[in-house]
Each structure stands twice: as structure tokens, then as C-alpha cells.
């Protein structure tokens, strides 16, 4: 041991001699401490001549998450265990952890029908380091007397069997039992037909005056299922009002929810399908529908009339912000592409391929956050 100064060294020597004269036992080493913990873990689960298994040795399918299986643990059982283990401080701190909702994923295991003991385990979040992984805590309880046999936690003081995390789990169980949540449905008080105070279900009468009738199908009321088309979601006052449903469909572009309950009224999906049928074909559709070059030219002249060009101009309003603009632009040599070709003095193979790719729409349209922001604010920038 490195000691600074002769005085300090002499003081340490005197302390060692005094401890030797008083027969002070040496502190156990790390290996000895681990061996002691291992022996204690085995002995604390020994009841008479029965060695209970460790919770981690039980199958995961045997653990039940329902609180109805929890034993009838009371606050007096917790106080007895705290007094037995001399952990009054852990009792109070465990209550604070439970009140702060640090206990979760509580499970129950009956071990076996031949054993009068059960396991309860759960996860307890640390008191201060709440972002770290929770500690796995378990306790062993006598199912008949509800007395705690032992417990364990993954924290530093967990092998002491009575840390605050163990008491937090016990307080959780005690709270559920106090609320009556561990009772089965047959053990609870009747709730589906509770009578008021002083109310009688049936007034007293003589058996000769009581009549018992079986249900008869002719006496039962039969109701036809209402048709969807006859349903009117409007209020009673507005149901008699005369409304032009066709004009409502046109004004709302078929998006009004009332139109879904009316027959022969066009909704938004119907209007959209009609629009798709009436709009001019794109070049890809014309090419797939034609069987020969002559047929392609005939279909192209049929689709690219002056009226069709006007429709395309209306449909592609907004250019890059409109998806149809990219569809109709595919395969068309635009003025911009012609200008780019005209300005190329020494075109290379790669530049020609890039130009063909642009014309035929092989390249996907550029979509970035900055470009989208610029397109949205272009009108405002022009005004300023």
C-alpha cells in the first residue's frame, strides 16, 4: 500500500496491530462473497425438505399476467416482512416507487398444485435513473398464509431480499388486492341488475295469480333491416326540404357525404372516372393501343385535335406541381429540349443519350425540399 509520509505510515501500522490484538476478522474476498451469495440463493428457497426452483428455471408459458391469480396479501403482511428483514426504510421507499408508477409487467406462477408457494415477478424502474433498463424483481409467497418467504432483485442490494424494489412489487400486489381486482367474476358482487335500495324485483303475489308464459314467435316483433338507399342522414326538419341533388353533386364535385346514400347521383369517384375517360390519351397509351406505324399516326391525329390540345393545356396547369404534366410531356420534344440541342456545339454520345432520356421521360423528376419550397413560394416572390 502506498502511503504518503512517515507519520501516515506509522498510523496505519498502529491500526493494523490494534486490529490484530482485537481479533478483527478479515474482510471476505470477492470469490468468497460470490460463494456466500450462491449458497444463500439455494438455501433461501429451501422449505423443509423441498427445494423450490428459481423463477428463471420455470417455463415462460407457465407465467400468467392476469391479476386475478394474485394471493390475498395485506399491508400487515408487508409490515411483518419489513420487521423480520429490518427494512423499514425499504418499506417506505418501495411505497413511493409504487405510487410513482415504477412497477409494470407483473406476472404470477403457481409453481405446482402440490406446493403451497407461488412466485410473483415484475419490472421496477430505478428511482432516479428512469431511462435505464428496469430491474427484474421476484418474491416467493406462501399461498395460504400470504407470508413472504424471500425475494430478490437485480440491483446492487437485491441479494439482501428486502430492497426497496422488492417492496415496490409487494405494494403493487397489495394495492390490487385492496381494490378487489384479484377476484374472479363469480366471486364479485352482482352488477348487471343492481336493485336500488328498497326496490323489489317482483312484488309478492300468490302462486295462483302468477302467470308464466313462454315466448311465442307470432307475438315477437319482426323488424326488416333498413335499406341503405332509404337512409337519410339529415335531421327530421330537413328531410322534407326539396334539394336539387344533381346541382349539389356538381357544386361539391361529388364529395358531399349525403350523395353516398342517393341513387343515380354521381359521387367524386364517378366524376373522376368520367374525367379520366374523356381526357386525351398520353403517347404511351397511343403506342400500346396501335398495331402499326400507320395506326399510330391515325390515333395520334385523332387524340391531338385542337380540342384535345386545349384539354391537355387545362389538365397540365401548374406544370411541375401537376403529375399529369409529366405524363403528357413524356415522348414530346419540347421547345426547351430543342434549345438545349441547338446550343450543343460538340455533342457527345453521352450527351445525346441524356437528351433522349429527357425527351422520353426516363429520368425521374427532381424532388427536393428546397425545390418544393421554391415552387410553393414562386407566386409570392413574383409579387414582391
- Top mean pLDDT of 24-28, 200-204, 337-341 is at 24-28
Q: What is the average pLDDT score of the chain?
A: 77
Kindly list the strands in the beta sheet with 148-153, ordered across the sheet, starting from the edge strand earlier in the chain.
103-109, 117-124, 135-142, 148-153
The whole-number average pLDDT for the span 221-235 is 61
Q: What is the DSSP letter of 165?
A: H
- The domain limits of the chain are 49-179, 283-376
Q: Contact 119/137 with Cβ under 8 angstroms?
A: no
Q: Provide Rg for the chain, Cα atoms.
A: 42
By CB atoms closer than 10 A (0-12, 13-18, 19+), residue 359 is: middle
pLDDT digits (tens, 9 = 90+) for 326-342: 777 777 777 677 667 65
The whole-number average pLDDT for the span 65-86 is 87
Residue with more model confidence, 167 or 282: 167
Residue 168: pLDDT above 90?
A: yes
- Top mean pLDDT of 117-121, 222-226, 266-270 is at 117-121
pLDDT digits (tens, 9 = 90+) for 229-238: 666 666 666 6
**HSE of 325 in the Cβ direction (CA atoms, 13 Å)?**
12
For position 143, what pLDDT does the model report? 87
For position 341, what pLDDT does the model report? 67
Residue 362: pLDDT above 70?
A: no
- CA 136, distance to chain mean position in Å, is 23
Whole-number Å distance between alpha carbons of 120 and 150? 11
- CA 153, distance to chain mean position in Å, is 29
The whole-number average pLDDT for the span 130-139 is 90
- Judged by DSSP in three states, 26 sits in coil
Residue 313: pLDDT above 70?
A: yes
For position 120, what pLDDT does the model report? 92
Output the pTM of the full model: 0.45
For position 297, what pLDDT does the model report? 84
Residue with more model confidence, 142 or 258: 142
Residue with more model confidence, 196 or 303: 303
Q: Cβ of 328: how many Cβ atoms within 10 Å?
A: 18
The whole-number average pLDDT for the span 85-103 is 90
For position 167, what pLDDT does the model report? 92
The whole-number average pLDDT for the span 86-104 is 91
Residue 123: pLDDT above 60?
A: yes
Residue with more model confidence, 21 or 347: 21
For position 141, what pLDDT does the model report? 92
Closest CA to 260 of 250, 244, 249, 251: 249
- Torsion from C-alpha of 291, 359, 303, 311, nearest 10 degrees: 160
Strands (E), the chain: 46-47, 50-51, 103-109, 117-124, 135-142, 148-153
For position 346, what pLDDT does the model report? 47
Residue 349: pLDDT above 50?
A: no
Q: Contact 117/148 with Cβ under 8 angstroms?
A: no
The whole-number average pLDDT for the span 306-329 is 78
- Which stretch of 69-73, 79-83, 301-305 has the lowest confidence by average pLDDT? 301-305
For position 246, what pLDDT does the model report? 67
Q: Where do we find the cell 468468497?
A: 32
Whole-Å CA distances, 104 to 17, 40, 98, 124 = 53, 27, 10, 7
Q: What percent of the chain has pLDDT over 70?
A: 67
Residue 290: pLDDT above 60?
A: yes
- Top mean pLDDT of 83-97, 187-201, 315-329, 370-384 is at 83-97
The whole-number average pLDDT for the span 98-126 is 90
How would residue 344 be classed by pLDDT, with cut points 50, 70 and 90? low
Q: Cβ of 384: how many Cβ atoms within 10 Å?
A: 5
| Neighbouring residues of 62: CB distance < 8 A, sequence distance ≥ 6 | 109, 110
How would residue 184 be classed by pLDDT, with cut points 50, 70 and 90? low
Does the CA dihedral 119-120-126-132 come out positive or negative? positive
The whole-number average pLDDT for the span 26-41 is 72
Residue 352: pLDDT above 90?
A: no
Q: Backbone dihedral region of 250: left (phi > 0), alpha (psi from -120 to 50 degrees) or beta?
A: alpha
Q: Read off φ and ψ for residue 328, nearest 5 degrees.
A: -75, -20
For position 342, what pLDDT does the model report? 56
Reported residue count of the chain is 384
Amino acid at each position: 500500500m502506498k502511503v504518503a509520509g512517515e507519520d501516515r505510515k506509522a498510523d496505519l501500522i498502529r491500526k493494523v496491530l490494534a486490529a490484530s490484538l482485537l481479533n478483527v476478522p478479515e474482510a471476505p474476498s470477492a470469490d468468497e462473497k460470490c460463494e456466500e451469495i450462491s449458497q444463500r440463493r439455494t438455501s433461501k428457497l429451501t422449505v423443509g425438505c423441498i427445494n423450490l426452483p428459481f423463477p428463471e428455471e420455470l417455463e415462460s408459458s407457465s407465467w400468467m399476467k392476469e391479476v386475478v391469480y394474485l394471493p390475498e396479501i395485506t399491508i400487515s403482511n408487508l409490515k411483518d416482512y419489513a420487521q423480520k428483514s429490518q427494512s423499514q426504510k425499504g418499506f417506505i421507499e418501495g411505497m413511493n416507487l409504487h405510487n410513482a408508477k415504477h412497477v409494470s409487467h407483473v406476472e404470477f406462477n403457481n409453481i405446482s398444485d402440490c406446493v403451497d408457494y407461488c412466485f410473483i415477478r415484475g419490472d421496477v424502474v430505478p428511482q432516479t435513473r428512469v431511462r435505464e433498463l428496469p430491474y427484474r424483481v421476484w418474491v416467493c409467497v406462501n399461498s395460504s398464509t400470504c407470508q413472504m418467504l424471500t425475494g430478490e432483485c437485480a440491483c446492487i442490494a437485491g441479494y439482501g431480499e428486502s430492497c426497496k424494489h422488492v417492496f415496490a412489487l409487494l405494494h403493487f400486489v397489495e394495492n390490487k388486492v385492496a381494490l378487489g381486482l384479484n377476484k374472479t367474476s363469480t366471486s364479485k358482487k352482482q352488477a348487471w341488475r343492481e336493485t336500488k335500495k328498497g326496490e323489489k324485483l317482483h312484488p309478492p303475489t300468490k302462486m295462483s295469480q302468477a302467470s308464466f308464459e313462454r315466448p311465442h314467435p307470432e307475438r315477437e316483433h319482426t323488424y326488416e333491416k333498413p335499406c341503405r338507399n332509404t337512409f337519410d342522414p339529415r335531421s327530421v326538419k330537413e328531410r322534407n326540404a326539396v334539394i336539387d341533388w344533381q346541382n349539389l353533386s356538381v357544386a361539391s364535385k361529388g364529395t358531399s357525404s349525403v350523395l353516398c346514400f342517393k341513387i343515380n347521383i354521381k359521387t367524386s369517384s364517378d366524376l373522376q372516372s368520367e374525367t379520366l375517360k374523356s381526357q386525351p390519351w398520353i403517347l404511351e397509351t397511343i403506342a400500346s393501343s396501335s398495331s402499326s406505324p400507320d395506326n399510330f399516326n391515325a390515333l395520334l391525329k385523332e387524340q391531338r385535335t385542337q380540342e384535345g390540345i386545349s384539354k391537355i393545356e387545362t389538365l397540365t396547369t401548374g406544370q411541375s406541381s401537376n403529375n399529369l404534366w409529366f405524363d403528357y410531356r413524356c415522348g414530346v420534344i419540347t421547345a426547351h429540349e430543342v434549345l438545349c440541342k441547338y446550343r450543343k456545339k460538340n455533342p457527345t454520345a453521352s450527351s445525346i443519350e441524356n437528351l433522349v432520356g429527357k425527351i422520353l421521360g426516363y429520368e425521374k423528376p427532381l424532388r427536393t425540399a428546397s425545390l418544393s419550397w421554391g415552387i410553393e413560394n414562386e407566386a409570392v416572390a413574383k409579387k414582391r
